[in-house]
Amino acid sequence: MKKIIFVLVSILFIQSVKGQWDEKFYHPNKQWAPIESLTYEEILFTADADTIHSILLEPDKEVKATILYFHGNGANASQWINHVKPLVEDGFRICLMDYRGYGKSTGKPTHLCIAADAQQLFDLLILRKDISQTPLWVYGASIGTQVATHLTKNNQDKISALILDGMMASFTDIAVATSPVEAREYVRQYVTSPYAAKEDIQELKDTKLLVIHSEEDVIPIAGAREVYERASCPKSFWLYEGKHIEAPLKYPAQLLEYVNQLF
């Protein structure tokens, strides 16, 4: 009887907040951390009535490639510097976009607005001569893997490599995995994904793919393996020991080894 009541309450809850489900996935952080010892440029553009803020980190050597980086759920671009610093020091130019409501970006994040903002930033970047003359890659960390894969699918003729770190197969899959067993079927029905990595990845043809995941990750590795198996493009899988998206922090040398194999 308790399970029946729980399920009924879950249905009513899900139906009442269906329009706000996107907000459950994102936890904006406005606290900006100082960025030290790295040269960077701020990029601003307007989307709807909001301002989208990004930072472009420049290496102090010849640029190997430009990487458009989509960070995870928590923190903001300034607090992800340690994850990308090894790449910058190795010669990669990194552009980190803050989702709406994160860092210096305004507004509220939704799956669809993040995808639209990512495309607008991409369109701005490829107009720059300094960026258009380098290989262009995309890197998604945690929840950022969804928009990273979606953007790459829609622009694969211009993107030569995609890196997915600590990924989920779809928004729906991660919602199901983190819900009580009794409510999972209802979550699966009502928490729908407007785009999903496990679907988008199947359309990639020549873009090189690197998937990074750990069996200790709180995000089930089964999702990463599913996305990897569905991909028919050139691909590799780095299985490391550690917690969620710890690979760049614990194994920076190995990260660079795997990333440089994408050339």
User: Which residues, 6+ apart, have CB-to-CB distance to 196 below 8 Å?
Assistant: 146, 169, 170, 171, 172, 173
Residue 39 backbone dihedrals phi, psi, to 5 degrees: -85, 130
pLDDT at 196: 96
Instruction: Specify the amino acid at residue 16.
Output: S
Angle, CA 26 vertex, CA 24 and CA 32 arms, to 5°: 150
> Which CA distances in Å does 143 have to 2, 146, 181, 234?
33, 6, 22, 23
Q: What is the pLDDT of residues 199-236, one digit of tens each?
A: 999 999 999 999 999 999 999 999 999 999 999 999 99
What is the 3-state composition of the chain as percent helix, strand, coil, each rounded to the nearest 5? 45, 20, 35
Quick one: average pLDDT of 228-247?
98
Tell me the pLDDT of the chain averaged across its residues: 90
Instruction: Name the band, by pLDDT with cuts 50, 70 and 90, for residue 183.
Output: low
| Cα Dmax for the chain | 66
Q: How many CA atoms lie within 13 A of 189 on its CB side?
A: 8
Asked if pLDDT for residue 15 goes beyond 90, the answer is no
Residue 214 backbone dihedrals phi, psi, to 5 degrees: -130, 145
Helix axes 81-89, 252-260, angle to 10 degrees: 60
Asked if pLDDT for residue 23 goes beyond 80, the answer is no
